[in-house]
Amino acid sequence: MRRPDDAGRTVVVFDVDGTLVDSERDGHRVAFDAAFAAAGLPYRWSVEAYGRLLDVTGGRRRIAVFLEEQEYEPEEASVLAAALHADKTARFRELVAQGRVPARPGVPELIADLQKAGVTLAVATTGTLAWVEPLLERLFGADTFAEVVTGTDVRTLKPDPAVYREVLARLGVGPEQALAVEDSANGLTAALDAGLPCVVVTNDYTRGQDFTGALAVFDGFNDPDAAALLRQSAPWR
């Protein structure tokens, strides 16, 4: 493995939801439903329905789009979505604190190996800063990621490339020095549009999406080919 000070510095930028952690079905979805219940609203998102709702990135936008589907006026949907999302965020932080949001199998080992090899690690996520930071610290330690850019830090969410561009700007590296690791088509589009090569590691919600343009697509981090490719050094293409 090349060291960062060799020709071609090596940076790996990870997505969080569905990539570093298994967080959607038994984490975010549960917190959204609890927020609906606490507000006295009858809505509950089934495991299947949530898969469709994931097409809209960002929890607040996801709620707003859903409420508009329930015939709320856009303005009312937006105000209610903001309040529900604030409550959802507090509830998800609680799940994080209880250790109920696990790393995906193979991820802790991959992170440890990349750290040992001197690779610079970073995060580009649509998720909210208030839960992203405690989750990363709990699972991977406080100083594992050189930069963490969240949905709170950018104006436009994935599939827009803003979050990846912000990571590269903060690190002061070009996209050719970085590799993105994503789980979804929205994330892949964001990475590619920022110029990063991208490996996709799918999960139950994203398997079957269109991953045209990905450097490689794997089912899990323990796939031997995935494990080998992700431990290679730059340049990846």
Catalytic residues: 15, 17
Residues shown for the chain: 237
CB under 5 to 8 A by kind: which of ligand XBP, Mg ion, none does 150 bind? none
Question: Which residue in the set 101, 120, 122, 125 belongs to the binding site for ligand XBP (CB under 6 A)?
Answer: 125
Nearer to ligand XBP, 9 or 131 (CB): 131
Give the H/E segment covering residue 29: helix 29-38
Report d(CA 124, CA 151) in Å as an integer. 8
**Does 9 contact ligand XBP by CB under 6 A?**
no
Q: 126 to 185, contacts with Mg ion by CB under 5 A?
A: 183-184
Alpha carbons within 13 A on the beta-carbon side of 89: 20
Cβ of residue 124: shortest distance to Mg ion, in angstroms?
10
Residue 192's SS3 state is helix
136: nearest Cα among 93, 171, 89, 186: 93
**Does 202 contact ligand XBP by CB under 6 A?**
no
Nearer to ligand XBP, 9 or 91 (CB): 91
Question: Which residue in the set 18, 161, 175, 197 belongs to the binding site for ligand XBP (CB under 6 A)?
Answer: 18
| C-beta nearest to ligand XBP: residue | 59
Q: 182 to 201, contacts with Mg ion by CB under 5 A?
A: 183-184, 187
What DSSP letter does each residue of 77-105 carry, written as one string?
A: HHHHHHHHHHHHHHHHHHHHHTT-SPBPT
Cβ of residue 222: shortest distance to ligand XBP, in angstroms?
20
**Does 28 contact ligand XBP by CB under 6 A?**
yes
Give the H/E segment covering residue 120: strand 120-124
**Does 15 contact ligand XBP by CB under 6 A?**
yes
Q: 73 to 92, contacts with ligand XBP by CB under 6 A?
A: none
Are 63 and 34 within 8 A, CB to CB?
no
Angle at 220 (CA atoms; ends 134, 118), nearest 5 degrees? 60
Report d(CA 2, CA 85) in Å as an integer. 42
**Does 58 contact ligand XBP by CB under 6 A?**
yes
**Does 128 contact ligand XBP by CB under 6 A?**
yes
| Residues of this chain that bind ligand XBP (CB under 6 A) | 15-18, 24, 28, 57-59, 125-128, 151, 158, 184, 186-187
